[in-house]
Structure 1
Amino acid sequence: MSVLFFSGVFVYCMKYKHFLIMLLSLEVVVLSIFISFLCFFSFFNLEVFTSIIYLAMSVCEGALGLSLLVLIIRTHGSDMILNFDLLW
């Protein structure tokens, strides 16, 4: 599971050209944390209700990210992050 987490962080840090790729790598990180929670809670025979709450919050985060993506594409015409940099 740590491989999934670190691969998501690596893609987020190295491939920051498009906003969609950044959102997808953040979702990989969130899902790897969810799987870790689920394994931890099932290993110690604890309630998995906390992981379901975490999954609901991550779904809300994904919907917010997609709405931001649609807003950015409608206003600027593309999802390239480098277009928003004021130093270029």
Structure 2
Amino acid sequence: MFTFMFISGLIVFFFKRKHFLLMLLSLEFIVLSLYINMFYYFSMNNFDFFFMMIFLTMSVCEGALGLSMLISMIRMHGNDYIMSLTFLW
């Protein structure tokens, strides 16, 4: 099931690559599926959960950076379509 969550997040990421908000949501879904997979693996093997806190910290930083890029894109260009940017042509 966790592999299906990860693969479906990747599929959405590849097919919605023109829309920045959907790309960010699919990245967060991929991070969530990786977190659930790590939690399941660590709890089954009786490992320490300290690495999961580092992973959550990095994923929050990734989400905050993505949202700040989205806000700056909307303020500059008026939408969040990636193909409207001039440096990608």
Q: How would you bin the TM-score normalised by the shorter chain?
A: over 0.9
- Report the number of matched residues: 86
C-alpha RMSD over aligned residues: 0.8
Alignment of 1:26-65 (within 5 A): 26-65=27-66
Where do 4+ consecutive residues of structure 1 move more than 6 Å? none
Superposition pairs of residues 1-88 of structure 1, within 5 angstroms: 1-84=2-85, 85-86=88-89
Q: Deviation per CA, 1:41-82: give whole Å up to 9, x if none.
A: 101000011111101110111001000000000011100011
Deviation (angstroms), 1:16 = 1.6
Structure 1 gap segments, 5+ residues each: none
State the TM-score, normalizing by the size of structure 2.
Answer: 0.92
**Deviations 1:15-41 (Å, cap 9, x if unpaired)?**
122100000000011111111111111
TM-score under structure 1 length normalisation = 0.93
Percent of counterpart pairs with the same letter? 50
Q: Which amino acid aligns with 1:40?
A: Y
